[in-house]
Amino acid sequence: MKQSQLFTKTTKDALKDEVSVNAQLLIRAGFINKEMAGVYAYLPLGLRVIEKIKKIIREEMDAIGGQEIIMSSLQPKGVWESTGRWSDEVVDVWFKSKLKNGTDVGFGWSHEEPITEMMKRFLTSYRDFPAYAYQFQTKLRNELRAKSGIMRGREFVMKDLYSYDVDETRHLAFYESVKGAYMNVFRRVGLGDITYITFAAGGAFTKYSHEFQTITEAGEDYIYVNKEKGIAVNEEVLDDSVLTELGVSKNELTKVKSAEVGNIFNFGTAKCDDMNLFVTDKQGKQASVYLGSYGIGVTRLMGVVAEHFADERGMIWSEEIAPFAVHLLSLNQNEKAEEIYNALNKAGVEVLFDDRDANAGVKFADADLMGMPYQLVVSEKNIRDNRVEIKNRKSGAVEYVSLDNSEIVRYFGKK
């Protein structure tokens, strides 16, 4: 894409009302726009990051048998009444409205009840299991206090996966396979080293649930970790019995601040029982259904990455989720740069071409702010030396490649 055609622009100015690093950088670079407190629009560059993250998640979900669907944002009252969760006293984040005829509707803050209701149509026999469905969906939550940019908003994108099974062993095995898939996701977005499967409160159905906590100062949780043993415990459940169960003592654990990027939850059979989802087993008798619910905050994950991979000049995207792999900077050498741009495009390399009539300093500063992994500099100086310059945004390392389109394509092809 040519930058001269991109309708967004960058700004040097820091916004007074936006304190978090993620929102500050993403807004300055033109990735997102703030619509209101806790509500952000995703612009071309930001959307490309979201789509890259979704692609990774989609691959990992499909790999464990997930089938993608999309539920609705408008939800009927009835399905939530069956579990007692329509009440504002029970769920305090509801956005609600009415149809013209007075019928109550809710805006989806979760989809556990609606998807289970929907599944009743299809899951009627033990032969129908297991069933694994997931979606990417905008969740609407009337948070009392939005904060930290895109890390805690009133409208955000979540990937939620639901597993249904009649066989408890298989149900638990799937739960374990989601753990693995989730860690793959966090590894692939670059947060593997600092993301822990964390013991957390389980609620009414199970003793514990598991959260995926990424160590970051921008987070709002505290967890206790032991990196060598790969153990992490949320502060909220840390007591002597948990320590005994895990076989660690408290002085082996370090307290760190973290952000919850994912959560997996075993409902047992309670939820489906509540919603009257029963099926016929082999003996022709009524059987209960196990439900698992598994979430990844897609937009929050983008916020955590933006926070973590940044320096004083701007963001630093990894190749897996960068909006573009290459930022081609033409220092008044548009003709030559255009040839390279076309060659890279033809080879399928994603490239943002800064073809604007601007000073070198402006282009470098913008490129650093936007944070594409590679900056490819085409300038008079380089052309004279019959080469192009390729700078690694993260390391700052500079490499030179001869001024030959196929050589340049090959450089990025091997990446």
Binding site for RNA (CB under 7 A): 9-10, 12-20, 36-38, 85, 90-93, 109-110, 112, 143-148, 152, 201, 203, 220-221, 260, 263, 265, 313, 331-332, 359-362, 364-366, 368-369, 377, 379-382, 389, 391
CB of 364 to RNA, least distance (A): 3
CB of 93 to RNA, least distance (A): 4
Classified as helix, coil or strand, 23 is helix
CB of 148 to RNA, least distance (A): 6
Among residues 138 and 244, whose Cβ is nearest to RNA? 138
CB of 35 to RNA, least distance (A): 8
Tell me how far apart the alpha carbons of residues 257 and 316 are, in angstroms, rounded to a whole number.
Answer: 22
Among residues 57 and 329, whose Cβ is nearest to RNA? 329
CB of 86 to RNA, least distance (A): 10
Among residues 243 and 365, whose Cβ is nearest to RNA? 365
CB of 186 to RNA, least distance (A): 18
Tell me how far apart the alpha carbons of residues 192 and 172 are, in angstroms, rounded to a whole number.
Answer: 24
Among residues 71 and 248, whose Cβ is nearest to RNA? 71
Residues contacting residue 264 through CB under 8 Å, at least 6 positions apart: 175, 178, 179, 182, 209, 210, 211, 212, 292, 293, 294, 295
Among residues 189 and 403, whose Cβ is nearest to RNA? 403
Q: Are 50 and 83 in contact (CB under 8 A)?
A: no
Q: Are 221 and 213 in contact (CB under 8 A)?
A: yes
Among residues 203 and 413, whose Cβ is nearest to RNA? 203
Where does 89-190 have alpha helices with state H? Answer: 112-119, 168-188
CB of 324 to RNA, least distance (A): 17
Classified as helix, coil or strand, 167 is coil
Q: What is the CA radius of gyration of the chain?
A: 24
Q: How far is CA 139 from the centre of its chain?
A: 13
Tell me how far apart the alpha carbons of residues 196 and 226 are, in angstroms, rounded to a whole number.
Answer: 10
Tell me how far apart the alpha carbons of residues 313 and 310 are, in angstroms, rounded to a whole number.
Answer: 8
Among residues 237 and 248, whose Cβ is nearest to RNA? 237
Q: Look up residue 80 and give its two tokens.
A: 């939530």
Q: Which helix (H) or strand (E) holds 242?
A: helix 240-246
